[in-house]
Structure 1
Amino acid sequence: MTTENNSGKTIRFMAPLVLGNMLNPLNSTMLATAIVEITGAFKQNLGSGALLIVPLYFTSAIGQPLMGRLADLFSAKKINILGFLLILVSAVIGIYAPSFNWLIVSRILMGLGSSAAYPSAMTMIRQRYAAMGQQVPSVALSTVAMASQVSIALGPFLGGILTESFGWQGIFAVNIPFVIIALLLSYNNNNYPESPKAKTGLDVPGLTLFSAFLMLLLLTLLYPTYLYIKLPLTILLLLACIYVELKHEQPFINVRLLAINLSLSTTFLRQIAINFILYLVLYGLPQWLEQSKKINPSRVGLMMLPMSAAAMVVSLLISKTSKYIHLLIFGTLCITAATCGLFFLNHNSPVISVMGTAVLIGTAIGLLTIANQGTLYAAAPANQTGTSFGLFRTVGYIGAIVAGSRLKHEFHNGATDQGLHQLTVYGLVACAIIILFMLPAIFKKMKRI
């Protein structure tokens, strides 16, 4: 009976955390098959769809470490609930948006609200099992990770079905039942211990400078005009951010950690390039399929499902291996081959060749995700694991932001074959970056042998 009671408490404890961690990747990937419909409805060019992609990742890049710090300062449970409420407001604004700009506001709120889920979940899991005097079971952590993987896999397919059945508003409306269920499960749930108060406050100067740097970088990428003003200002803000963070006891971005740990910093740089390719394909391919090959959204979503499923299945199959360098090498070969394959796609290409390329990219993403997480865990100092994984999420969002800016420019006049091939060039540059920053890990491994 006690075991059954404990099992029931664990399920109730984990359920809202799992739901929360599904919403950021779900809302990221559902949009992929709805962009053509949305831009058409508001009479925007297809490239403007990036203005719905980038804000979510911009606010997530800032929101993840911010919400994590707020969870430490106040209460992880309260921050988790705050996140759900912001998602609810975001969904309502999205459904009834009178203009394209209101959709952008909705995506900003979605990015901020969904950023609360991961850091608050990790904090609550750690606190619950610490209060019980137990080690955190691996199944708890893997369940949260799997929630994100499942959402990524289902997002394009679900987005296509919702868009075709209920219009583009469906991808916003689907959040409402998720949030209501999560709030009901969270209400009066005594399984969540109260967070201990943090000893130091929020690094407001670091947060402000990093946000300003990221905003100016974003504007430079999306609107590459007046570069003689924007580029120097961007560099100055970055230098100011670095200087302030080096002086702070509990920095918003731990710059010193990056400076002294080569394995850690090269892992982050690889992750930027990996996410750049992932989101180029995840958003670019559906738009190209809908416009150039005239395929309806639900079929496009179905065609993208094997890519995400491949990433999820591969991640599961190799999740227990510790041969991260082998995974890194094989994953890099796969993603380079798949990116080259995009060059050979055109509007006359058979569907099977498109799906084959997508599955190969999904396989590569699965391999590289596990490899990068493994090398990150090995490189991160034991007393700064949480900080390191928070930065890992942030740099991943930067890769997505850069991908969104490229999509805006190359698909400005429509998702054409030429635009797809130009995106492929950027993808190959990212492959070169992955290879370059993989070399230190290989050399380190060879020295041990």
Structure 2
Amino acid sequence: MTARPPRRRARRAAESAESGEPVGFDRRLVPPMVLGSILNPINSSMLAVALIPIGRAFGQPPSQTAWLVSGLYLATAVGQPVIGRLVDAYGPRLLYLWGTALVGLAGLVGVLAPNLWVLVVSRVLLGIGTSAAYPASMSVLRTESERTGAKSPTGVLTILSASNQVIAVVGPTLGGLLIGAGGWHLIFAVNVPLAAACLLLGLRLPRGGTMPSGARTDVPGMVMFAVSLTAFVLFLMDPAVVRWYLPAIGAVLGVLFVRRELAAAEPFIDLRVLGGNVPLLATYARQLLAYTTAYAFLYGYSQWLQEGRGIDASQAGLLQLPTAVAALGATALTGRHARVRGKLAAGSLIQVGVCAALLLLTPDTPVWVLVLLAAGFGLPQGLNGLANQNALYAQAEPARMGASAGLLRTFMYLGALLSSAATAAFFEAGATTAGLHDLAWLMTGVAALNLLFSLTDRSLARIGRES
């Protein structure tokens, strides 16, 4: 990405000063960006310690409660780029407010759910509603960068990344405390006050989009993308020969989607630009691999702690608190440094080691070992998430920042879906130690592949250099 010339940056700063606008980044925008963007990770991670209690409440095995995970991630994987493109078209405020209002409604549906499948509907609504805030925040970052002439708002990017990373890993602890205080219903009820706060703070966000006046939104392209991805994921969650029609539908619509996007004047996803942006594609691939492993640990390890190790939900949540502390420490120590290659190499290498360490766990493993293991998983979460977000900011086309940021989250949650499918398969007979070991072999292989991608991507060395 070409840096803004110094004279132009100075002129933009002078214009802001003359108009009475803040010369630096408008810090009033940070609270709604942070609070809105954590809605998805907090709902993702709190559920990790609630799956066993919910399954017991409704008499459902882990293979069925896995749909609570998959429902949110399927909706998010589809919703993030779609809503991100709408953010580009109509501005961050409108989509942010609609999305957070839907989060509050989904929380009420979850509290009142009479059975597992209504609860799944609540999770789908949560997935759609929480898809707006992150692309809206990245769009605001780009707009503020253009207004102030700042090359890269590393401080705000670090705050955004740190809040997401820490909430994602502190979620199991919070979920365990809420379950201990009033049952699993509270992890849905907490969305109501969070959504209300977002609605108030979201009024500070700017209105305008970045698409040219008169440009059309590619609704057919969005629909093809959504249905194709949904068909593939539904098959992945329950693969069987009799369901052959799902990948067939996905493949046909995928081909039609590619043909349309290549021919459209204003495509939903500009495949011509994206296809030529190999560094950005590599960032998406690393995001997929990193979070396949991270979410397999989040959900698989949490369930094993309760069934394989015999720890209750509240204690299982507390045992994952070191993950949050380690992730926060890694982000805080490295966040001010714009370079990403070292972070990705270190994060993926640590991830390989801790995944392999899962193979050594037994039902009698001492608690202090479990604490160290949880801390070990926090380090790569802090490093990988921050580095991939910074890489995207440097690599994405500015006018499509919302859609590009949404796609980053799509690959993140595709990783979550893959991990959910793997966890459901390996824990078909319950969250046993043998099942955890089988899952650990898969996690180690995926982490090793992520390490290979990080070490061989030479384009990463250019990110963060002083111009």
Structure 2: which amino acid aligns with 1:398? L
The match for 1:46 is 62
Match of 2:288 among 255, 272, 281: 272
The match for 2:217 is 202
Structure 1 residues 244 and 151: alpha-carbon distance in aligned structure 2, compared to 1, 3 A threshold: same
Contact 2:287 2:388 in 1 (8 A): yes
Structure 1 residues 126 and 325: alpha-carbon distance in aligned structure 2, compared to 1, 3 A threshold: closer
Instruction: Give per-residue Cα distances to partners, 1:139-191, cap 9 Å, x unaligned.
Output: 444433333233223211110000111100010111111122333444xx5x4
Match of 1:114 among 124, 130, 143: 130
Structure 1 residues 185 and 238: alpha-carbon distance in aligned structure 2, compared to 1, 3 A threshold: closer
Provide the secondary structure at the position in 2 that maps to 1:406. helix
Structure 1 residues 354 and 320: alpha-carbon distance in aligned structure 2, compared to 1, 3 A threshold: same
Counterpart mapping for 1:119-268 below 5 A: 119-124=135-140, 126-127=142-143, 135=150, 138-186=154-202, 189=203, 191-196=204-209, 198-199=211-212, 200-226=215-241, 228-268=244-284
Contact 1:253 1:391 in 2 (8 A): no
Structure 1: which amino acid aligns with 2:208? S
Aligned-pair distance for 1:92? Answer: 0.5
- The alignment covers a number of residue pairs equal to 438
Percent of pairs identical after alignment? 34
Aligned-pair distance for 1:286? Answer: 0.9
Tell me, in whole angstroms, the C-alpha distance in 1 between the residues paired with 2:165 and 2:143.
Answer: 24
The match for 1:305 is 321
The match for 2:93 is 77
Contact 1:12 1:185 in 2 (8 A): no
Aligned-pair distance for 1:365? Answer: 2.3
The match for 2:9 is none
Structure 2: which amino acid aligns with 1:57? Y
Tell me, in whole angstroms, the C-alpha distance in 1 between the residues paired with 2:136 and 2:343.
Answer: 30
Structure 2: which amino acid aligns with 1:303? L
Q: Is 1:406 paired with 2:422?
A: yes
Once the two structures are overlaid, the 10-residue window that deviates more, 156-165 or 380-389, is 380-389
Structure 2: which amino acid aligns with 1:217? F
Structure 2: which amino acid aligns with 1:388? S
Contact 1:291 1:416 in 2 (8 A): yes
The match for 2:308 is 292
Provide the secondary structure at the position in 2 that maps to 1:177. helix
Tell me, in whole angstroms, the C-alpha distance in 1 between the residues paired with 2:193 and 2:298.
Answer: 25
The match for 1:25 is 41
Instruction: Give per-residue Cα distances to partners, 1:329-359, cap 9 Å, x unaligned.
Output: 2222211111111111121111222222222
Aligned-pair distance for 1:295? Answer: 0.8
Structure 2: which amino acid aligns with 1:121? S
Unaligned runs of 5+ in 2: 1-16, 463-467
Counterpart mapping for 1:330-409 below 5 A: 330-381=346-397, 384-409=400-425
Match of 2:108 among 85, 92, 97: 92
Structure 1 residues 88 and 222: alpha-carbon distance in aligned structure 2, compared to 1, 3 A threshold: same
Tell me, in whole angstroms, the C-alpha distance in 2 between the residues paired with 1:445 and 1:147.
Answer: 26
Once the two structures are overlaid, the 10-residue window that deviates more, 44-53 or 326-335, is 326-335
Tell me, in whole angstroms, the C-alpha distance in 2 between the residues paired with 1:34 and 1:363.
Answer: 24
Contact 1:57 1:398 in 2 (8 A): yes
The match for 2:332 is 316
Aligned-pair distance for 1:445? Answer: 5.7
Instruction: Give per-residue Cα distances to partners, 1:387-420, cap 9 Å, x unaligned.
Output: 4333222111111111111112222221001111
TM-score, length-scaled by structure 2: 0.85
Provide the secondary structure at the position in 2 that maps to 1:251. coil
Provide the secondary structure at the position in 2 that maps to 1:221. helix
Structure 1 residues 371 and 196: alpha-carbon distance in aligned structure 2, compared to 1, 3 A threshold: closer
Contact 1:267 1:437 in 2 (8 A): no
Aligned-pair distance for 1:322? Answer: 4.4
Instruction: Give per-residue Cα distances to partners, 1:204-244, cap 9 Å, x unaligned.
Output: 22211211121111121111112654444433332222222
Tell me, in whole angstroms, the C-alpha distance in 1 between the residues paired with 2:236 and 2:124.
Answer: 18
Provide the secondary structure at the position in 1 that maps to 2:320. helix
Tell me, in whole angstroms, the C-alpha distance in 2 between the residues paired with 1:352 and 1:420.
Answer: 19
Instruction: Give per-residue Cα distances to partners, 1:348-377, cap 9 Å, x unaligned.
Output: 111222222222222122222233334444
Contact 2:47 2:187 in 1 (8 A): yes
Contact 1:77 1:124 in 2 (8 A): no
Aligned-pair distance for 1:299? Answer: 1.2
Tell me, in whole angstroms, the C-alpha distance in 2 between the residues paired with 1:6 and 1:315.
Answer: 27
Q: Is 1:65 paired with 2:78?
A: no
Provide the secondary structure at the position in 2 that maps to 1:31. helix
Contact 1:275 1:397 in 2 (8 A): yes
Structure 2: which amino acid aligns with 1:177? P
Tell me, in whole angstroms, the C-alpha distance in 2 between the residues paired with 1:438 and 1:375.
Answer: 12
Contact 1:75 1:195 in 2 (8 A): yes
Structure 1 residues 369 and 126: alpha-carbon distance in aligned structure 2, compared to 1, 3 A threshold: closer
Structure 1 residues 17 and 382: alpha-carbon distance in aligned structure 2, compared to 1, 3 A threshold: closer
Provide the secondary structure at the position in 1 that maps to 2:59. coil
Instruction: Give per-residue Cα distances to partners, 1:18-64, cap 9 Å, x unaligned.
Output: 32122111111100111110111011002222100111111111212
Tell me, in whole angstroms, the C-alpha distance in 2 between the residues paired with 1:235 and 1:79.
Answer: 30
